[in-house]
Amino acid sequence: MNSARAKIAMCAALTAIAAGAAQDYRLYNVVPMYSGHEAEQAAKCVEMYERTGEDLALYSLTLHPEGKPAREKVDRYVASFRAFVKALEGTKVRPAVLVQAILGHWPRTDKDIEPWERTIDQDGRTVRFCPLDPGFGAYIDYVFTEIAKSGPAFILTDDDVRAYSHGAECFCDTHVKLFNSRRGTSYTRDQLRAAVRGSKPGEPDYDTFLAMQREMMENAVVGRIRKAIDAVDPSIPAGICIAGEEHYMASALARRIAAKGQTPVMRCSTGLYGETMCANYFPGNYMRMRGFAEYCRGSGIEILDEADTCPQNLWSKSARSFYTHLAASAFSGFSGAKTWYVNGLRRIGPVAPEYTEVLADRRGRLDALARAVKGTRSVGLAAPCFVTHPGWHLVSNHHQFFVESPICSLSTTRFGIPVTASREFGDKSVVFALSSASEVARMTDAELEKLFSGKVFVFRDAAVALTKRSLSRLTGVKAVEKKLLFSTEWDNVRGVSMAYTPAMDGSVEFTAEAGAERLSNLVWQPYSGSTEREVVAPATVYWRNALGGECVTTMYHYRMYKLHECSVARKTWFTDCIDKLSGGDRLMTCGNLQDVLVSERVASDGSHLVFAVNLNSEPIKRFRLRAPEGFRFETLSCNGNWRHVLSCRDGEYAVLDLPVAFYEDVVIKATPAK
Ligand SMILES: [Zn+2]
């Protein structure tokens, strides 16, 4: 056995022992159905358990109605699950079920179908079967009754459980009739589609249709599923996977499908499929993750990461980035993940065993990480987390996440400045980033005033939107669209020029209140390198407003990142602006001059936890962490133990003897000397 394999075997043994205890981070591991090969699939799951400690195997059954009679497929698939259960008897692996489809993810493609009413979507397309059809309702009952009778340890539905496919539903005859009877209208189908599309939240046509959508999901689908399971065994736990469209009802559905007394389980829509350029996509995905975590904080719901590897091979996603996604969710406060990778067989044999290898090597680290973040407070530049959905429209704007924050997704996550999300507007221990007009539009005047009673870093588009709403008193800056002639942005604090291309962006003029502090100016120079500088307008302004809040408002905006962000001066300016707002509590930023995503948490004993991902193909040899002198540093090893890290000082940075490979994460604990 070579040394690498010996190391993996040793780590696997340790994690398997650790998994005997309660898991702090649980994997809901999906196994493909393979009819006629159930014993082999079961053997793969046992091997998986022995190597990683994963004891929950969700047999994937794609059970939306297909063919006629539709129950024929159900009988065959459930029989396969029963064979899988039998093959696992006497082992430590607990068979469970992922109902990978019940309504169906896509429009129907089969030729011979049941005579049930079909859904009609917002564009008039005939798509799936309508859950209000009694025949389809009886089919749903049958599916979940048969599954429940097989004694699964858990039942998870997938994200086809939504009133979308992928347009809003349902405008079938039954739904049109129901709508007309409730509203006293006599709309045809096409008139109803036009009425819903053309109406706004709060208007009767819109509200009536939205209520029907919600009732369909809560009662005709999720409530019906729970009832069918309860009729067989009310103790069988169940959870849902939520889709991108219906966040407003996500927690209600998770509670509805849970067994009595069970902690509701909700897999969030945080998947990153077919990834290519990690620096472009991972940060935005991470911010979405933080939004879910913040939204569900304190709700009592167990939230799961969507760490799927679809289509389950290394072309889609590397094993190390799969693991990094899991670690990111554990650091964000998730309870676990639905993992969808092939550790069973998939027709031509096992695919991508690397996913199993990485878990065998580092499974215990996920539990340790989930334990470590409990009771800690997340700090960092915070994206506002919106717990309501104003502006959400079931037809025209049905993708609205809990956070938007393009500046966090695109800028600070590359600069190694800790990011987070918060719904505690006005909390003076948090520095918020307000970076888009759309975020301003999602908030009422009262919410904005609350936000601005705390600390806010305001970026150009948000500043313009606030000015248009006559709220520039909050920022001390009037931001008006106007073409300006200037050469560069001059950092007044550091006395350096920051890269800027005026041709791309000289379209807004700031006018600052008297007494506001100018941290940078737009300046005109006769030529590059000239010492002659004529101030054109303020570019970054610090202001303490009448509410007692502090803000830094800047011309900088998120669309500039490609050419203008990649400079040491800009990274330094970002950090300086945040330091100015956060006062003495300086964030633990990463000093390596390449793309690094960082998040930070603070524990009640004064120790800090830092999670970082190297998003740059240049491996980091020594991690540079901005930390006060006198701290000692540890890192989380693959087996979940903390290991001391040697360090030396370089100015404000601790230079840690800690390498980070491309797309891998590192967790650092920084503890102050007693
Ligand atoms: Zn319908």
Interval between CA 144 and ligand 1 midpoint (Å): 21
- b (16+ CB within 10 A) / e for 384-403: bbbeebeebbbbeebebbbb
- What digits encode the pLDDT tens for the residues 512-560? 999 999 999 999 999 888 889 999 999 999 999 999 999 999 998 877 7
φ/ψ bin of 644: left (φ > 0), alpha (ψ from -120 to 50), beta (otherwise): beta
Ligand 1 mean position, distance from CA 351 (Å): 40
Cα 128 to averaged position of ligand 1 atoms, centre (Å): 9
DSSP labels, 177-193: HHHHHHHT----HHHHH
Separation of CA 271 and ligand 1 centre (Å): 29
- 57 vs 92: CA distance, rounded Å: 11
Q: Tell me what the pLDDT averaged over the chain comes to.
A: 91
Q: Calculate how far, in angstroms, residue 214's C-alpha sits from the geometric centre of ligand 1.
A: 12
Per the CB < 8 A criterion, the answer to whether 489 and 572 are in contact is no
Separation of 121 CA from ligand 1 center, angstroms?
9
pLDDT bin (cut points 50, 70, 90) of residue 345 is: low
User: Taking the CA atoms of the chain, what radius of gyration do you get in angstroms?
Assistant: 27
DSSP H helices in 339-428: 354-373, 406-407
Which segment, 227-241, 305-319, 339-353, is predicted with the most confidence on average? 227-241
Q: What is the Å distance from ligand 1's center to 193 Cα? A: 13
* pLDDT for position 353: 83
Average pLDDT over residues 647-672: 97
533: CA distance to ligand 1 center in Å? Answer: 67
Report how far ligand 1's centroid is from the alpha carbon of 213 (Å).
Answer: 9
Lowest average pLDDT, out of 27-36, 41-50, 313-322, 345-354, goes to: 345-354
Q: Residue 126 C-alpha to ligand 1 middle, in angstroms?
A: 10
Question: Is pLDDT of 363 > 90?
Answer: yes
Q: Per residue in 13-56, pLDDT tens?
A: 333 333 334 689 999 999 989 999 999 999 989 998 999 889 99
Instruction: Give distance in angstroms: CA of 169 to centre of ligand 1.
Output: 7
70 alpha carbon to ligand 1 midpoint, in Å?
A: 19
631-636 and 642-645 strand pairing: antiparallel
**Calpha distance 328→317 (Å, rounded):** 16
pTM above 0.75, yes or no: yes
Distance (angstroms) between ligand 1 centre and the Cα of 170 equals 5
State both tokens at 368.
Answer: 């340790």
User: In this prediction, what percent of the chain has a pLDDT beyond 70?
Assistant: 93
161 alpha carbon – ligand 1 mean position (Å) = 14
For residue 141, report the phi and psi dihedrals to the nearest 5 degrees.
-55, -45
Chain mean position to CA 655: 31
Say how many Å lie between the CA of residue 420 and the centre of ligand 1: 40
Q: Which pLDDT value is given to residue 4? A: 38
Q: How far is the CA of 154 from the centre of ligand 1 (A)?
A: 29
- What's CA 454's distance to the chain center, in Å? 26
> What is the 177 CA–ligand 1 centroid distance (Å)?
10
pLDDT of 140 over the 70 cut: yes
pLDDT at 545: 97
- Determine if residue 302 is left, alpha or beta; phi over 0 gives left, psi from -120 to 50 gives alpha, anything else beta: beta
Q: What is the pLDDT of residue 347?
A: 61
Ligand 1 centroid–CA 369 distance in Å is: 45
| Average pLDDT of span 445-449 | 97
Report how far ligand 1's centroid is from the alpha carbon of 210 (Å).
13
Give the distance (Å) from ligand 1 centre to CA of residue 64.
Answer: 16
User: Among 435, 408, 429, which residue's Cα sits nearest to residue 420?
Assistant: 408
Ligand 1 centroid to 159 CA: how many Å? Answer: 18
How large is the average pLDDT for residues 192-200?
Answer: 97
Residue 119 tokens read as 């859904």
Ligand 1 centroid vs 197 CA: distance in angstroms? 17
**Using one digit for the tens of pLDDT, what is the confidence trace for 551-566?**
999 998 877 756 667 8
DSSP state of 513: P
Q: How far is the CA of 176 from the centre of ligand 1 (A)?
A: 8
Residue with tokens 């502006």: 391
- Ligand 1 center from residue 400 Cα (angstroms): 24
Query: Does residue 3 surpass a pLDDT of 50?
Result: no
| pLDDT tens digits for range 368-423 | 999 999 999 999 999 999 987 777 899 988 878 899 988 888 888 889 999 999 99
500 against 573, higher pLDDT? 573
Note if the bond before 166 is cis, omega within 30 degrees: yes
CA of 191 to the centre of ligand 1 (A): 16
> One-letter amino acid identity for 27?
L
Distance 110 CA to ligand 1 centre (A): 20
Question: How far, in Å, CA of 169 to CA of 210, rounded?
Answer: 10
Kindly tell me the burial class for residue 604, based on how many C-beta atoms sit within 10 Å of its own C-beta (0-12, 13-18, 19 or more). exposed
Instruction: State the distance from the centre of ligand 1 to the C-alpha of 131, rounded, in angstroms.
Output: 7
Tell me the CA–centroid distance for residue 211 and ligand 1, in Å.
13
What is the pLDDT at residue 346?
Answer: 64
**How far is ligand 1, taken at its centre, from the CA of residue 549, in Å?**
50
The Å distance, Cα 155 to ligand 1 centre, comes to: 26
